[in-house]
Amino acid sequence: METLITSLAAVALVVACNSEPASGRSGATAASVETRAPEGAGQSPAFAGQTRAPGSAASRVRVTTFATGLNKPWAVEALPDGRLVVTEKQGRLRVVTADGRVLEPIAGVPAVETRGQGGLLDVAIRPAGANAFTLCLSYAEPRGGRRNATAVACGRAEGAQDLTLSGLRTIFRQEPPWDSGGHFGSRIVFAGDDTLFITTGDRQREDSRTNTQRPESTIGKVVRIGLDGSAPADNPFAAQGGAAAQVWSMGHRNIQAAALRSDGALWTVEHGARGGDELNKPLAGKNYGWPTIAYGIDYNGRPIESGITAREGLEQPVYYWDPVIAPSGMIFHSGKLFTRWRGDALIGGLASQSLTRLTLAGDRVAGEERIAIDGRVRDVAEGPDGAVYLAIDAADGRILKLTPG
C-alpha cells in the first residue's frame, strides 16, 4: 500500500500568516508546527528558539508499507545488504528480508519482563565480517519478585538470510532494580571507540525518580561502557567505582531516542512530563535536571517538585516540545536519498503519530517539520540507499518505508 503525503508544516501555514521565508529553502515558507496552548502555562524558554521553532518547508514523502505481521515492533535496524532486524516487545527478534518478508523468530533471545512498557526493546548492530555482526539487545530483565530493570546483552549474529545468535551475554544491568512496569529507556548506540552508550529511564515512580540525581544509581542516566561491560577509565565518575563508574550523564526522565551526529557527538530525545519532551546533547558528567527542573507539568496536573524550569548547575535542553510529541527513535539522515534532509534529525512520535524533522544550525534547532504518519512511530532507521524505515507500534505492527514523493 502506498500513499503520498505532505507535512503538517503545510497545514500550519493556514494559521501562521505572519511567517518569514525559511533560510536556504527557495520559495519555502516557515511556520510554527504547534498551535495548541502550552501545558506549562506561564513558563518561558531559557533562550530564543528553545521551543516551537519556525516550520521548515513541507516535504513530499511517499510512504509504502514494507512489511506486515509484526506484533508491537519496538526497534528496527538496517543491515548493509538491505535486510532489517526488528525487535518485538513480547520478546521476539526477527529478520525482515530486503523484499519485505518477515522471517521466523531468532532463537537465543533472553527472557524478558513484558509488564507495562517492558519487553524486548532496542537492537544495535555493527558489521564484524562477511555476513557477521556484533549485535546488542536491550530488554526489561526480571530480577526476582516483581522487580525488574533495563539490561543489555551482546553477542555475534551470522547469516546471509536469517541470522543465528551465539555468545550472547549480559554486559549491563541497571541498578537498582525496581517494582515497576514503566520507563525502561532504552536505546543502544555504538560509539566510534568500541564503547556503547545506553539510555535508561527513571522507572516512572515518584519513589524511584529521585535516583536520577544520584550518580551511584543507573536510573535516569546515559551510561557508557565497553563491549565487555567494563567502565572506561575516562568516564566522569569512574573514580567512584561501582555503578557510578558507568554513568556518562544524569538527570534524565525516559530516553527512548539516541543517535550519533556526523561529528560523533551523542544526541538524545526523552519523554518529558506533560509539556516537557526534550532534545539534549548529553555531555560527560553533566546533570540534565529531572526532576529538579522541568518544562511542563506532571501528568497528575500538578507542578513537578517546586515547578521551576532552571537552576544553576543544571543543564537546559537544546529544545523542548510543549505540547509533547511522545518521542521514540531517532536518526541523523545521511542525505543519500532525501538530499534536502542531509544532517537533519528525524524523530519518531508515538502519541503525535508523526515523524518530526529538525533542521539544526550548530547546536540549535533552526526549523521543525511534522510529517503525519498513520500509526505510533516507535523507531526510525535509515537503509543503505537512504530510504527511511519506521516501526509502527501496534498489535498488527508494520514497517513503513519513506522515499521522496
Which set of grid coordinates corresponds to residue 219?
A: 536510573
d(CA 181, CA 142): 11
Asked whether residue 20 carries a pLDDT value surpassing 80, the answer given is no
The pLDDT assigned to 26 comes to 26
- Contact call for residues 327 and 320 (beta carbons, < 8 A): no
What's the rounded Cα separation, in Å, for the pair 286 and 381? Answer: 28
Structure confidence by residue, pLDDT tens digits, 146-198: 999 999 999 999 999 999 999 999 999 999 999 999 999 999 999 988 899 99
Q: Check: CB of residue 330 under 8 Å from CB of residue 347.
A: yes
pLDDT the model gives residue 192: 84
Stated as kind and residue range, the H or E segment containing 399 is strand 397-404
Residue 254 in contact with residue 202, Cβ under 8 Å? yes
Q: Quick check: is 271 catalytic?
A: no
pLDDT at 1: 54
**Sign, Cα dihedral of 361, 403, 321, 270:** negative
Instruction: Say which of 183, 252, 271, 333 is annotated catalytic.
Output: 183
Pairing relationship of beta strands 132-142 and 195-199 according to DSSP bridges: unpaired
Using one digit for the tens of pLDDT, what is the confidence trace for 274-312? 999 999 999 999 999 999 999 999 999 999 999 999 999
Confidence of residue 35 (pLDDT cuts 50, 70, 90): confident
pTM recorded for the entire structure: 0.93
DSSP bridge pairs for 169: 154
Q: For position 34, what pLDDT does the model report?
A: 76
Rg (the chain; Cα; Å): 20
Residue 23: the pLDDT is 27
Confidence of residue 17 (pLDDT cuts 50, 70, 90): very low
Whole-number mean pLDDT of the chain? 92
The number of CA neighbours under 13 Å toward the Cβ of 232 is 17
pLDDT at 22 over 80: no
How do the domains of the chain map onto residue ranges?
A: 2-404
Query: pLDDT category, 239, cuts 50, 70, 90?
Result: very high
Kindly write down the DSSP assignment for every residue of 157-211, as one continuous string: EE-SSS-EEEEEEEEEE-SS-BS-SS-----EEE-TTSEEEEE-B-TT-HHHHGG
- Given CATH 1.10.3720.10, say whether it is the number of domain 2-404: no
Spatial separation of the C-alpha atoms in residues 74 and 244, rounded to whole Å: 28
- pLDDT at 66 exceeding the cut of 60: yes
Cell of 136: 546488542
Contact 45, 51 (CB under 8 A): yes
Q: Bridge partners of 279?
A: 269, 319
Q: What is the mean pLDDT of residues 108-121?
A: 97
pLDDT number for residue 7: 55
DSSP-derived secondary structure letter, 265: -
